[in-house]
Amino acid sequence: MRVFVFGVMVFGLAGIAPAARADDKSEIKKLFTKLSTAFKNKDTNGIFALCTPDFTEKNHGMVIDAKASRAQMEQMFAMAKSIKDCTFTPTKIDVTGSTATAASVGKSSFVIVDSQGMFGAKGLTHNMTDTSTSKCTIVKDKGKWKFKQLEMLTESPVVDGKPLKMGGGPPPKK
C-alpha cells in the first residue's frame, strides 16, 4: 500500500534541533493520516500525490515502481464494494535531515465483489480484513514530506474469517 530527496539542515543553536524534529514527526504523522483518508475514499490520485515520482514498493520480494503500484491499487479499488476501515499508523519515526524512516501498522476492512471467482463463485461479495506492518522511507520534497519507498514486512489477510495464504516472487519452476 508507498518515496525521497536527501539533505541536511544544520542548526546553529542546539535548542532549535529538537523542536524541528518534533515538527517533522508531527508532519509525518499527518502524512499517514492523509494516506488513510485517501485509501478510505479509494482516491488513487490522492494517494500518489503523497509520494515522490520515483516511489517504489517492495512486497513479497518483488519491487515495483509507482506506475505498477497504481495499477494494482486501482484493480483492488475496483473490486472493493466498500471500504469499512483503513488506517496506517506510524509506530516509530526516525528523522535525519530531510530523510525519515517509519515503521507502521496498517489495518483495513473491505467488502469485495469477487468478479473473477478467486474465493468461490463469481460475483459473490466477501468480507476481507488485513493487518500489515511496513517500513517506509519518507523524504522532504519541496518542503513537504512524501513517501519514497514502502516495504511490506508482514501481511495477514483474512477472507470471510479464513486466513488467505499470500504468495510472492516468481511462480515456481515446473
HSE (side-chain half, CA atoms, 13 Å) at 124: 11
In this prediction, residue 167 carries a pLDDT of 58
Q: Where are the domains of the chain?
A: 16-159
pLDDT score, position 48? 97
- Cell 525519515 found at: 100
Low-confidence ranges of the chain (pLDDT < 50): 1-20, 169-174
**pLDDT score, position 16:** 39
| Domain 16-159: assigned CATH number | 3.10.450.50
